[in-house]
Chains A and B, each alone.
Chain A
Amino acid sequence: MSQDIIIEDNYRLPPPEKVGREPGSFTSVIQGLVFTVDHKKLGLMYIASGLLFFVIAGSLATLMRIQLMVPDNTFLPPDVYNRAFTMHGTTMVFLVGMPIIFGFANYLVPLMIGARDMAFPRMYAFGFWVFFFSGLLLYFSYLGAPGIYGAGSAPDVGWFAYSPLTSKAFSRGHSTDYWTMSLLLGGIGSVSTSINILVTIFCCRCKGMTLGKMPLFVWLNLVMVFLVILALPCLSACQIMLSLDRYLGGTFFDTQAGGSAVLWQHFFWIFGHPEVYVLIMPAFAIASEVIPVFSRKPIFGYPVMVAASISIAFLSLGVWAHHMLTIGMSALGNTFFVISTLLVAIPTGIKIFNWLGTMYGGKLRMELPMLFCIMFLFQFLVAGLTGVMLAIAPFNWQLSDSYFVVAHFHYILIGGLLFTIFAGIYYWYPKAFGRMLDKRLGMAHLVFFTIGFHVTFLPQHFLGFLGMPRRIYTYQADRGWDLWNFVSTVGVVFQAIGILFLVANLIYSYVRGKKAGNDPWDAWTLEWATTSPPQDYNFAELPEVKSRRPLWDAKHPNDPDWKHE
Chain B
Amino acid sequence: MTMTKGARKNFGWILIAGFLATVMGSAYAQDGGEMRRVSDIFQPLSRQSEMILEPTMLVLLTSLGVFLVVTFMLVYVVWKFRRRGPEDDVVEPPQIYGSNNIELAWTVIPCLIVFVLVLVTARSIVEIQNAEMPPDALEIRLVGHQWWWEVHYPQLGIVTANEIHVPVSTRTGERRPTRIYLESADVIHSFWVPQLAGKTDLIPNRTNRTWIEPFETGTFFGNCAEYCGTQHANMLIRVIVQEPEDFQRWVENQQQPPPVPQSALALQGRADFESITCINCHAIDGTTAVGVFGPDLSKLMTRQTIAAGVAPLTPETLRAWLVDPQVMKPGANMPDMKLTDQQLDSIVAYLETLK
Contacts and interface: CB of A to CB of B under 8 A. Distances in A.
B130 interface: yes
B121 interface: yes
Contacts of A18: none
Interface residues of A, number: 99
A565 interface: yes
Interface in A360-391: 360-366, 374, 377-378, 381-382, 385-386, 388-389
A334 interface: yes
A556 B55 CA distance: 54
Contacts of A296: 92-93
Interface in B65-82: 66-67, 70-71, 73-74, 77-78, 81-82
Contacts of A259: 205
B192 interface: yes
A78 interface: yes
A473 interface: yes
A378 B233 contact: no
A394 B121 contact: yes
Contacts of A339: 118, 122
Query: Which bucket holds chain B's interface residue count?
Result: 35 or more
Contacts of A243: none
B330 interface: yes
Contact of B23 (A397, A462, A479): A462
A229 interface: no
A260 interface: yes
B102 A162 contact: no
Given A335-B121, A359-B78, A467-B40, A398 B71 contact: no
A556 B38 CA distance: 64
A43 to B, nearest CB: 31
Contacts of B182: 328
B199 A394 contact: no
A401 B199 contact: yes
B114 interface: yes
Contacts of B203: 261-262, 327-328
Contacts of A441: none
Interface in A28-64: none
Contacts of B190: 326, 401
Nearest to B126: A331
B20 A471 contact: no
Interface string B2-29: 0000000000000000001001111011
Interface string A394-415: 1111111110000000000000
B206 A262 contact: yes
Contacts of B199: 326, 397-398, 400-401
Given A297-B95, A478-B32, A395 B118 contact: no
A397 B52 contact: yes
Nearest to A556: B92
A162 B227 contact: yes
B228 interface: yes
Given A334-B125, A382-B67, A398-B198, A302 B97 contact: yes
A564 B206 contact: no
Given A262-B206, A394-B198, A398-B198, A469 B225 contact: yes
A492 interface: no
Contacts of A561: 95
- Highest count of chain A CB atoms <10 Å: which of B38, B70, B82, B186: B70
B281 to A, nearest CB: 17
A140 interface: no
A366 B82 contact: yes
Nearest to A564: B97
A364 B227 contact: no
Interface stretch (B104-112, B167-175, B248-256, B270-278): B104-112
Nearest to A358: B96
Contact of A162 (B62, B70, B226, B330): B226
B204 A395 contact: no
Contacts of B286: none
Nearest to B35: A478
A401 B198 contact: no
Contact of A362 (B93, B124, B224, B309): B93
Given A394-B128, A478-B37, A346 B208 contact: no
B314 to A, nearest CB: 16
Interface string B44-69: 00000101101110011011001100
A466 B331 contact: no
Contact of A388 (B78, B92, B117): B117
Contacts of B117: 342, 388, 392
B149 interface: no
A75 to B, nearest CB: 14
A150 interface: no
Nearest to A464: B41
B77 A356 contact: yes
A381 B54 CA distance: 23
A397 B121 contact: no
Interface in B316-341: 330-331
A401 B233 contact: no
B186 A164 contact: yes
A477 B231 CA distance: 17
B138 interface: no
Given A164-B204, A338-B118, A394 B51 contact: yes
A117 B60 CA distance: 49
A360 to B, nearest CB: 5
B79 to A, nearest CB: 9
Contacts of A8: none
21 contacts: A78-B233, A164-B186, A164-B188, A301-B98, A327-B201, A327-B203, A328-B182, A346-B110, A361-B96, A381-B67, A385-B67, A388-B59, A389-B60, A393-B124, A462-B24, A466-B38, A467-B40, A467-B221, A471-B227, A474-B234, A479-B221
Given A77-B330, A360-B81, A472-B232, 18 more contacts: A78-B230, A78-B330, A78-B331, A261-B188, A297-B93, A297-B94, A300-B99, A328-B201, A361-B94, A381-B71, A389-B59, A392-B121, A393-B121, A466-B24, A467-B192, A473-B232, A474-B234, A476-B309
**Which 8 pairs, one residue from A and one from B, show the smallest C-beta to C-beta distance?**
A397-B198, A467-B39, A472-B233, A328-B208, A480-B38, A301-B98, A255-B204, A467-B194
